[in-house]
Structure 1
Amino acid sequence: MSRLPFYLIVGLLLVAGIAASVHRHIQFEIPWLPGEQRQVWEVEAVINFNAQGGPVEVNLALPTHQTGYRVLTENTASSGYGLAYQGDERGRRAQWTIRNAAGNQQLYYSVQMLVSPEARAPIQAPPQLTSSPWERPYDTAATQLIERAWARSANNMTFARELIRDINGEAQGENARLLLTQEAPSALIVRLLNQADVQAREVSGLLLEDGRRRQPLTTWIQVFDETAETWSIFNPVTGEQGRPENLLLWEMGGRAVLEVQGGTNSRVSFSMMTHHQPASAAVRNHHSDDTLLNFSIHSLPLEEQALFQTILLIPIGALVVVFLRVLVGIKTSGTFMPVLIALAFIQTSLLTGLIGFLLVVAVGLVIRSYLSHLNLLLVARVSAVIITVIAIISIFSVLAYRMGLNAGLTITFFPMIILSWTIERMSILWEEEGPKQVLIQGGGSLLTAVIAFLAMNNSLVRHITFNFLGVQLILMALILLLGNYTGYRLLELRRFKPITEDEQTR
């Protein structure tokens, strides 16, 4: 029979598992290592204004996911105000409303921004050109400024740079000074760019510096590059192209950052600080939609997450059991009993678990040997063993507590049904094949459980299995490959030792 379908299934499982894991790492920035740290900026905006004793409506522009930064969490403090978040193609805004307010008012908005080199801004369509006509003699000055900068440029980017230098640089002429009497420098630059059929807009950004307080937003100019279909940022004072690494764009829709209706003397200031936190915690706070490709345990409640964190380790233990039984040839009492014992070791710690396991099994075997003389039916005998195991664990727990050994209380994590069947199976094995086989299979089970515990309790393994569900497909493929092995086991090779010794003596 052809093995091609089998290898195709294994190959598909490997490819799907690796692809899903790599996708989560790249797209959702899940770290490969558990100890990675990410830089997070905490920015607080404080809005101050004087309410006039009537209805008040406050609108504040909010930051969004953008190149180099992702929004993690955001909070507000606004006693008595209603709050709503609004969003459209031009950006996000927070709206506070109240029916009646008077006097000085303060509203707070805070946001955590994750520094993420892989983050990209959402695709935004360039705005329509809105160039209002100039009155005389400003129209002539505007035309001359555009023609002078256009002649010294090669494309839209260099044209914007030259125009900024003509308006704010040392070469500022009479035309620029005349137009600046009508428009602010940044607004004038955008208006002239639009007049020359170059799509541009004003944006507001915050220069991030650790520990700074009461900082204002600064104005920058974005110019649309038609060849690359991207936005480029220019400093409106120097004409320098490129976005500073510490620039957080706050408003990119061409609207006012703060709008207050029903109040006067409104202003907003910003304070900021930075810290580092584990990458896994930062990712958990991600405001990303749960899609099929972003299928993760993080979408469950914390209680279920803790449960699955242990459940997802079972395939690792199963892989260890398959490897040791199929390739090495270790005999165990029960197929996957060592995996369940290893799970108990995770809860109890290795040393406490080993001592508890040996005590329970040893006492259980003694009591089981007495039950064998009663000639009970199987169901009744196993039930009696289960009750006996429960009694043994209860007695040991009470004795440990009385002696001040709190670690002994964790013996209750052992799977009692599995322990009962282990005692029953070892007792029958003792009667049929003698104590040697009991020691071989019992020791093999304990050795396998310890190795499985070391593999499952590894911090890297726990991190990978919990955060990358595609690893389960990879484990399935490896187990299928091991299950296809029909050669000699390592422990069986000792049977050939006399043959090799004879060949060496010849």
Structure 2
Amino acid sequence: MKYSRWPFYSLIGMLFVTGLILSIYRHIEYQVPWLPGETLTTWSIEARVEFDAMGEPVKVRLNRPDSQKNYTRLSESSASPGFGVTYLEDEGMIEWTIRQAKGAQTLFYRADFLVDENQGEPLAPPPPIKIVTWEEPYKTAAQQILQQVRRQSADPISFTQQLFTQLSEKTTHNNQNLSLLKSAESNNAKLAVRLLNQANIAASVVWAIQLEDGRRRQNTIPLVKVWSSTEKSVIFNPLTGQRGVPEQHILWSQNSMPILEVSGGVNSFVTFSIIRHQESIHSAVQAQQNSDHDLISFSIHSLPLEEQALFKTILLLPVGALVVCFLRIIIGLRTSGTFMPVLIALAFIQTSLLTGLVGFLLIVFTGLILRSYLSHLNLLLVARISAVIISVIAIISIFTLFSYQIGLSEGLKITFFPMIILSWTIERMSILWEEEGAKEVMVQGGGSLLTAILAYLFMTNDLIRHLTFNFLGIQLIMLSFILALGNYTGYRLSELIRFKSMVKDDIR
């Protein structure tokens, strides 16, 4: 009995049209651009405060970022079920309060910033200079350092510059006074502020965040802000002594207040998640005029930033699946495992292509050697796979430690490889070697690597990343393409090449 294919074709058409309509509606209604370029960039930064409440009144105060040089704050919001929220404008803090709470608590604060080159640096009054006291022998060491720096400087800014030159790691081991002070205060930023205050220079530790799209669980970076007058201030990197806020960083705290204060709780900490948005000019201007209006109302953007960063990667998986379907069904490329190349491509995104390729080849080659030894032990399948998994973990650990010891920081990234998938890949290739020979292993292994590389190139394309994250209808369109490919029953391109001589004979 022959079944009609029209319902199937109708489903494909419905998915395609629905995805297209949703994408066009989102483009027109919310003015989300089709292309990632020629737009205004906004950064959404979410602070995640976690602590354990002790069953008593709780008060949590978190420092809030404000508009600053090159960045204009568009809006801010918070999520704190059961807590009262107060924005303390004078102090630049947000305060959560509750009469009684117990157990693990999680609070969220989010701020959206527009990249704006016209935004100037706000004036901030210098903090009061604190009285610094040292016990001996730290007092004598601090005085000697300050005397030496004072001879080499002419004003508060040059004094600070020379001080950071002294505090740099290259000179510390040659300076016993600095080594002594660092044993009492290992944080360069806090030590510099104490010494600057002792020299009657107004300074404070400010905290910056690196702006990296899709970054989760990020911590702040300490910087030192120094005032030469009531209106002029300069920011220094305490590790390098360079002036100014590092590139692609934004100041979260611009005053001397601590980032987080928790009363009535223990084990408190705060982490940050960052997402970059490419918004239309209309949307950005509208957000500036009305800080209570969300840039995008109903989309992935409404989720917490940590989940958004996760979805930014998850939404690329259908792209890799589409590439695999095309290469296997239309081209006829053979791979080891169906969608293993997609997972390897995800690992390449985390490690970079060259580092990922080298790491993958090293792990698989070493794993195959170990697996050949295990095959002689006649182990059961479950025990053999478990042994391979442990071997893969050991291989990755050894390569990572070796890379770290010889100074190759890129080698540390091979820990992003999916260990279970690698273990099954080694097992499948070993069985294939025993049954089909080395040639088939090379064919399928090479096909897997080629597929992973092509999937990586598509998944890292800026246009594709922009469309998949901002237009959820694209997922339906890709699903319709995959279903259409699944209905293909013709010859693969590799088969046409294989039977090319037979076709010529038939023509003759």
Pick the structure with greater CA Rg.
Answer: 1
Tell me, yes or no, if structure 1 residue 24 matches structure 2 residue 3: no
Tell me, yes or no, if structure 1 residue 12 matches structure 2 residue 14: yes
Equivalent-residue separation in structure 1 for 2:368 and 2:331 (angstroms): 28
Distance 1:73 1:341, change over 3 A: same
Partner of 2:341: 338
Structure 1 residue 408 displacement after superposition: 0.5
Distance 1:278 1:315, change over 3 A: closer
Tell me, yes or no, if structure 1 residue 467 matches structure 2 residue 470: yes
Tell me, yes or no, if structure 1 residue 445 matches structure 2 residue 431: no
| Kept in 2: contact 1:36–1:279 (CA 8 A) | no
For 1:359-398, list aligned pairs within 5 A.
359-398=362-401
Stretches of structure 2 that go unaligned for 5 or more consecutive residues are 43-72, 78-86, 92-112, 117-276
Q: Deviations over 1:384-417 (max 9, x none)?
A: 0000000000000001111111000000000000
Partner of 1:233: none
| Kept in 1: contact 2:31–2:280 (CA 8 A) | no
Equivalent-residue separation in structure 2 for 1:440 and 1:38 (angstroms): 46
Query: What TM-score does the superposition give when structure 2 sets the normalisation length?
Result: 0.52
The 4+ residue runs of structure 1 with deviation greater than 3 A are 71-80, 111-114, 280-291, 500-504
Structure 1 residue 31 displacement after superposition: 1.1
Which of 305, 322, 325 is residue 325 of structure 2 equivalent to? Answer: 322
For 1:5-404, list aligned pairs within 5 A.
5-38=7-40, 73=75, 79=90, 278-279=278-279, 283=283, 286=287, 294-404=297-407
Match for 2:463: what amino acid?
L
Partner of 2:129: none
| Kept in 2: contact 1:34–1:280 (CA 8 A) | no
Structure 1 residue 280 displacement after superposition: 6.5
Distance 1:282 1:359, change over 3 A: farther
| Kept in 2: contact 1:386–1:417 (CA 8 A) | yes
Match for 1:357: what amino acid?
F
| Kept in 2: contact 1:38–1:282 (CA 8 A) | no
Equivalent-residue separation in structure 2 for 1:39 and 1:306 (angstroms): 16
Which of 3, 6, 27 is residue 5 of structure 2 equivalent to? Answer: 3
| Kept in 1: contact 2:75–2:292 (CA 8 A) | no
| Kept in 2: contact 1:13–1:474 (CA 8 A) | yes
Equivalent-residue separation in structure 1 for 2:41 and 2:364 (angstroms): 51
Q: Deviations over 1:38-62 (max 9, x none)?
A: 499xxxxxxxxxxxxxxxxxxxxxx
Task: State the SS of the aligned residue for 1:31.
Answer: coil
Task: State the SS of the aligned residue for 2:477.
Answer: helix
Match for 2:352: what amino acid?
S
| Kept in 2: contact 1:31–1:280 (CA 8 A) | yes
Partner of 1:495: 498
Structure 1 residue 8 displacement after superposition: 1.1
Match for 2:444: what amino acid?
Q
Equivalent-residue separation in structure 1 for 2:292 and 2:479 (angstroms): 29
| Kept in 1: contact 2:40–2:281 (CA 8 A) | no
Distance 1:436 1:283, change over 3 A: farther
Distance 1:9 1:39, change over 3 A: closer
| Kept in 2: contact 1:24–1:294 (CA 8 A) | no
Structure 1 residue 496 displacement after superposition: 2.3
Equivalent-residue separation in structure 2 for 1:74 and 1:371 (angstroms): 58
Stretches of structure 1 that go unaligned for 5 or more consecutive residues are 41-70, 81-110, 115-276
Distance 1:6 1:294, change over 3 A: farther
| Kept in 1: contact 2:18–2:476 (CA 8 A) | yes
Match for 2:299: what amino acid?
S
Structure 1 residue 495 displacement after superposition: 2.9
Task: State the SS of the aligned residue for 1:395.
Answer: helix
Distance 1:351 1:375, change over 3 A: same
Distance 1:112 1:388, change over 3 A: closer
| Kept in 1: contact 2:392–2:422 (CA 8 A) | yes
Task: State the SS of the aligned residue for 2:298.
Answer: coil
Match for 1:460: what amino acid?
L
| Kept in 1: contact 2:404–2:411 (CA 8 A) | yes
| Kept in 1: contact 2:12–2:480 (CA 8 A) | yes
Match for 2:279: what amino acid?
A
Distance 1:112 1:381, change over 3 A: closer
Tell me, yes or no, if structure 1 residue 433 matches structure 2 residue 473: no
Equivalent-residue separation in structure 1 for 2:421 and 2:388 (angstroms): 11
RMSD: 3.3
Partner of 1:141: none
Task: State the SS of the aligned residue for 1:374.
Answer: coil
Distance 1:282 1:340, change over 3 A: farther
Equivalent-residue separation in structure 1 for 2:301 and 2:352 (angstroms): 26
Q: Deviations over 1:294-334 (max 9, x none)?
A: 53111111111111100000000000000000000001100
| Kept in 1: contact 2:336–2:425 (CA 8 A) | yes
Distance 1:78 1:301, change over 3 A: closer
Percent identity over the alignment is 65
| Kept in 2: contact 1:38–1:278 (CA 8 A) | yes
Structure 1 residue 279 displacement after superposition: 2.3
Equivalent-residue separation in structure 1 for 2:358 and 2:337 (angstroms): 20
| Kept in 2: contact 1:74–1:112 (CA 8 A) | no
| Kept in 2: contact 1:341–1:415 (CA 8 A) | yes
Equivalent-residue separation in structure 2 for 1:282 and 1:393 (angstroms): 49
Distance 1:283 1:437, change over 3 A: farther
Structure 1 residue 2 displacement after superposition: 0.7
Distance 1:502 1:443, change over 3 A: same
Structure 1 residue 74 displacement after superposition: 8.3
The size of the alignment, in residue pairs, is 284
Partner of 1:152: none
| Kept in 1: contact 2:31–2:282 (CA 8 A) | no
Match for 1:28: what amino acid?
Y
Structure 1 residue 282 displacement after superposition: 8.2
Report which stretch shifted further, 443-452 or 491-500: 491-500
Query: What TM-score does the superposition give when structure 1 sets the normalisation length?
Result: 0.52
